[in-house]
């Protein structure tokens, strides 16, 4: 069952990434066509329109960088199984989760951001299953939050434990919701069980700033943390 869920997760991420990559290639193709038009539209011996030429080449450079980042992140995800249980920095995991959940949020006119800080938060955790759990959290949040909301993920350390705190806001106002009962809650629960983690909406002492922290939705709680 766990292997099937992991395969399903990889398939979903790959499908979304493929769509993004097609967009990249489409823009590159369009810009390359514009370059070709500019060159052939110029009089013999005359230089093409410099400003339009620069704009087109800049678009190509931007999209190549976009595509390169996408493939780099996919490669990192694919190699998760090389070390199924390893000590890793939760800041990197959160950054990856924010990147892969971005398209999901944008479809509902929302955004996802990482508040990672400067200090590493390292824990022994299955990196693939952690990504599955984090994506499950963001999907449930996206379902429950309104348009224009910003979802924030922040890795934290608390005593011997660690986790990822989740909060949300809209136009500077804090938002709160419960993920229990969301359409993706069952899938999230399975991911949490496979990871050996828990989703906590009840305990204010979560290492996220206390009971008065604005917009706190909950925390994905992990086990023992390793200090570096």
Question: Can you give the pLDDT at residue 215?
Answer: 57
> What is the value of pTM for the model shown?
0.82
Question: Cβ neighbours of residue 12 under 8 Å, at least 6 residues apart?
Answer: none
* DSSP code per residue over 115-182: ---SS--EEEE-HHHHHHHHHHHHHHHHHHSPTT-EEEEEEEEETTEEEEEEEEEETTEEE----TTS
% of the chain residues with pLDDT over 90: 52
In this prediction, residues 87-109 reach a mean pLDDT of 91
Ranges 61-70, 76-85, 98-107, 157-166: which has the least confidence: 76-85
pLDDT band at 49 (very low <50, low <70, confident <90, very high): confident
In this prediction, residues 59-87 reach a mean pLDDT of 84
**Helices vs. strands in the chain: H and E counts, helices first:** 5, 8
Question: Can you give the pLDDT at residue 128?
Answer: 92
Question: Can you give the pLDDT at residue 207?
Answer: 47
Q: What's the N-to-C CA distance of the chain in angstroms? A: 35
The pairing of strands 161-170 and 111-114 is: unpaired
Digit-coded pLDDT (tens) for 5-22: 888 888 889 898 899 999
State the chain's mean pLDDT as an integer: 85
Digit-coded pLDDT (tens) for 183-208: 999 999 999 999 989 999 875 444 44
3-class DSSP assignment, residue 60: helix
Q: Which CATH number fits domain 85-226: 3.30.420.10, 3.30.565.10, 3.40.50.300, 3.30.70.1710?
A: 3.30.565.10
Question: Can you give the pLDDT at residue 226?
Answer: 46
* DSSP code per residue over 73-126: HHHHHHGGGGSSSEEEEHHHHHHHHHHHHHHHHHHTT-EEEE---SS--EEEE-
In angstroms, the CA 173 to CA 119 distance is 27
């Amino acid at each position: 069952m766990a292997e099937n869920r992991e395969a399903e997760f990889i398939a979903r991420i790959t499908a979304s990434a493929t769509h993004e990559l097609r967009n990249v290639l489409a823009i590159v193709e369009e810009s390359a066509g514009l370059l070709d038009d500019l060159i052939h539209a110029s009089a013999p011996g005359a230089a093409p329109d410099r400003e339009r030429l620069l704009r087109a080449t800049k678009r190509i450079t931007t999209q190549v960088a976009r595509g390169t980042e996408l493939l780099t992140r996919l490669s990192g995800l694919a190699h998760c199984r090389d070390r199924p249980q390893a000590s890793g920095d939760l800041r990197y995991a959160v950054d990856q989760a924010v990147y892969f959940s971005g398209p999901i949020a944008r479809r509902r006119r929302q955004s996802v951001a990482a508040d990672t800080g400067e200090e590493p938060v390292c824990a022994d955790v299955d990196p693939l299953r952690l990504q599955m759990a984090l994506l499950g959290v963001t999907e449930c949040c996206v379902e429950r939050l309104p348009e224009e909301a910003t979802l924030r993920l922040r890795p934290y350390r608390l005593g011997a434990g660690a986790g990822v705190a989740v909060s949300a806001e809209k136009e500077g106002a804090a938002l709160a919701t419960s993920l229990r009962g969301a359409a993706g809650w069952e899938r999230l629960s399975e991911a949490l069980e496979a990871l050996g983690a828990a989703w906590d909406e009840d305990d204010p002492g979560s290492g996220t700033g206390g009971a008065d922290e604005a917009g706190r939705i909950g925390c994905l709680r992990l086990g023992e943390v390793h200090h570096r």
